[in-house]
Amino acid sequence: VLLFGIALTLFLILALFPFISWSVVLGGFGFFLVYILAQIVRPNERWVFVPMVVFVLLLGFLMIGNYQLNLTRATLPVEVTPGTTLSWQVAKESLKEHFFAGVGTANYSYAFSLFYPKEHNLDPLYSVRFYQGTGLFFEALSTIGALGTILFLLLWLSFFSVGVYLLSYEKNRNKLYSLGLWSMVTMLFLASFTSAINGSLLLIGVLIATLALGTVFWESDSEEKYIELSLKATPKFALALAFTFMVVSAGVAFLFVFMGKVFVADMNMGKAVRISAEKPNTDSLEMFAKAINIYPQEGRYYMRLAQEYMALANVEASKPEREQNVSVIRDYAEQAIDLSQIGKKQMPNDVVQAESMGMIYENIGLYDSATLTKAIETYLRAEELEPQNPLYSVKLGQIKKLLADERAEGAEKEALYTESKNLFEKAIEKKQDLAVAYYDLALILSRLKDLDGAVTNAEQALSFENSNLNYGYNLGILYQLRNKDDDKARAEKMFKDILSVNEKLIDVRLSLGLLYEDMNKKDSALAEYNKILTYLPKEADEKIAQTKEQIEKMISNVKSGKSNLNRENESAPTNTPSSVPENPMPVEVPIGAPAPFGQ
């Protein structure tokens, strides 16, 4: 049985090879082996060789690697955690501002967002927020500060030293069970410095440590001392003890009821999220509200419900204009704002709450541009809580661009464009490979008539995300607008490359036709316009019908020698390629004969 258990354990170690912290395994097993070799703990003579053989096998597994052994490996969800270097950088910056007491218990996510370094933005997972550090030590430095960390280490080391002392004391006693359990405690001790420890692991670790301490006391035959308490000793003592018992019992009962409420609330929230994931609908609202009624202290519940109302408002707004219910959209938007304000009161320093609230205001800005100012304020607050996040600068720049687009030509419009330009450059300074920042900067520079700069930044955006058809499409338009050297040939190639991926992109084909007109290739332009007609659904709504009519008019213009180019509206790229699906569903296509980058 023992050999079978050892073989099974070794097989599991191989199967879980990529998920194992080998320093922890070897450290714990090394602790066990030291006591065996020193003969402080002596197993049966027949089994003395087993620990040494197993240790050698573990070293062999580590050196050879599971891939070379070509054995079956388990596939488990990958838990992403911050690296040791990143955790130390966050802890170091936290101590600079909160040296003695830290940012507060259970607030590591706040510390991480506030203090992670700019270099982290170069990581592919730069947008992931971590709620735990790598190891309790780094997490403690950030959350409970230097004083709390020192006390934590003293407690941990005191406990560990008691076990080592009792194991080493009185060699004549064979404390084999204690050695096994304290080897596990050693692994937990090492893991607390090298791995993320969640609540479940912490609870299991405490139980194992308690069992290990009790076992080593038992095998050491430590002197037992009892303090006998009796309710019959004195009336005063009986009353005090009874009162203490009632308070403790009430506290335990409250704890179980409280945790039960939180659990039930989370269950309802999870069910609501699953319903909403299929498609935003009113059925999920009841489940969200039920979760809030059960546990109203959780601010994220309010924010999630606010997001659901905003999603429902967008669903209603996406309907054809004659089917929209404006009052419903308004009510949903107002509910979203009210709930997000409650969430803000519950979590004033939570960056996720600030970000979600900003997105809600930004979405409402599609219907009421006045709320864009609120969105700017909220994103600025999110940037305070996460100063190295480049995406907030991008969001602020995009909103400034929207506000500028609404203004009449003049100093105010140009000033807003300049502010937007500076924000996109700020985002690029924080993350040098952020494609969306280069792309949006190209849009702004084209509005500021700096076409060379616009082309350069659009090319940079496409180099970072070469599969993004929108970047390629608008780069082609920029080539056409700049019209230097072989820019028209570059634009033609760009449009053709995009159409080779999806030939039913109406905007791209229309732009290619306009480009051919500009290049005086009338037959090629007619071919592109005729292809658009073949891709339009036969059974179409009014918008598609208007588009079809305009394309036919453009064909007629080319045949009669008239140009469809509109040079007066050339300004900045805003179009996004639209695709015609295989089924005859109505599809949004350009209304009118847009000039390149038409408004």
DSSP SS3 for 579: strand
Torsion of CA 277, 279, 281, 287, to 10 degrees: -20
Same domain, 168 and 212: yes
Q: Is residue 264 part of a domain?
A: no
What are the beta bridge partners of residue 579? Answer: 505
Q: Rounded to the nearest 5 degrees, what angle is found at the Cα of 303, between the Cα atoms of 301 and 304? A: 65
CA distances from 580 to 392, 504, 508, 540, 598 (A): 33, 6, 12, 12, 20
Tally Cβ neighbours within 10 Å of residue 367. 14
138 & 21 share domain: no
Are 62 and 98 contained in the same domain?
Answer: no
Identify whether residues 155 and 47 lie together within a single domain.
no
pTM: 0.85
The whole domain housing 61 covers: 2-69
| 424 domain residue, yes or no | no
Please answer whether residues 51 and 30 qualify as being in contact, where contact means their C-beta atoms are separated by less than 8 angstroms.
no
Q: Which pLDDT value is given to residue 66? A: 56
41 and 144, same domain (yes or no): no
Does 88 lie in the same domain as 65? Answer: no
CB 316 within 8 A of CB 307: no
CB–CB of 184/160 below 8 Å?
Answer: no
Query: Helix, strand or coil for residue 450?
Result: coil
Write down the pLDDT at residue 595: 30
Q: Does residue 185 sit within a domain?
A: yes
CA 432 from chain centre, in angstroms, equals: 20
Give the DSSP H/E element, type plus range, for residue 381.
helix 372-385
Number of domains in the chain: 3
63, 102: one domain: no
Pair (134, 29) in one structural domain: no
Q: What is the pLDDT along the chain (599 residues), one digit of tens a residue?
A: 678 888 888 888 877 877 788 899 999 999 999 999 888 888 887 788 888 889 988 888 888 765 555 555 556 666 788 988 999 999 999 999 999 999 999 899 999 999 999 999 999 989 999 999 998 999 999 999 999 999 999 999 999 999 999 998 877 778 889 999 999 999 999 998 888 888 888 889 999 999 999 999 888 876 555 556 565 566 767 777 778 888 989 988 988 899 899 999 999 999 999 999 888 888 899 999 999 999 999 999 999 999 999 999 999 988 877 888 889 999 999 999 999 999 999 999 999 999 999 999 999 988 788 899 999 999 999 999 999 999 999 999 999 999 999 999 999 999 999 999 999 999 999 999 999 999 999 999 999 999 999 999 999 999 999 999 999 999 999 999 999 999 999 999 999 999 999 998 998 999 999 999 999 999 999 999 999 999 888 776 777 888 899 999 999 999 999 988 864 433 333 344 443 333 322 222 222 222 333 32
Q: What are the backbone angles phi and psi of residue 297, rounded to the nearest 5°?
A: -80, -10
Q: Is residue 124 packed enough to be buried (19+ CB in 10 Å), middle (13-18) or exposed (0-12)?
A: exposed
Q: Which residues, in sequence order, are bridge partners of residue 505?
A: 579
Is residue 565 within 8 Å of residue 513, measured between CB atoms?
Answer: no
Is there a domain that residue 155 lies in? yes
**Residue 477 sits in a domain of what CATH number?**
1.25.40.10
Q: What is the CA radius of gyration of the chain?
A: 33
Question: For residue 292, is it within any domain?
Answer: no
Does residue 592 lie in a domain region? yes
What is residue 573's predicted lDDT score, i.e. its pLDDT? 39
Q: What is the DSSP string of 205-259?
A: HHHHHHHHHHHHHHHHTPPP------TTS-HHHHHHHHHHHHHHHHHHHHHHHHH
Q: Are residues 155 and 191 in the same domain?
A: yes
587 and 479 co-located in one domain: yes
Domain end call among 69, 99, 118: 69
Question: Are 523 and 576 within one domain?
Answer: yes
Of 135, 141, 153, 143, nearest to 106 by C-alpha is 143
Boundary residue ending a domain (176, 192, 220)? 220
**Do 520 and 597 sit in the same domain of this protein?**
yes
Residue 147: inside a domain:
yes
432 in a structural domain: no
Last residue within a domain, chosen from 43, 69, 95? 69
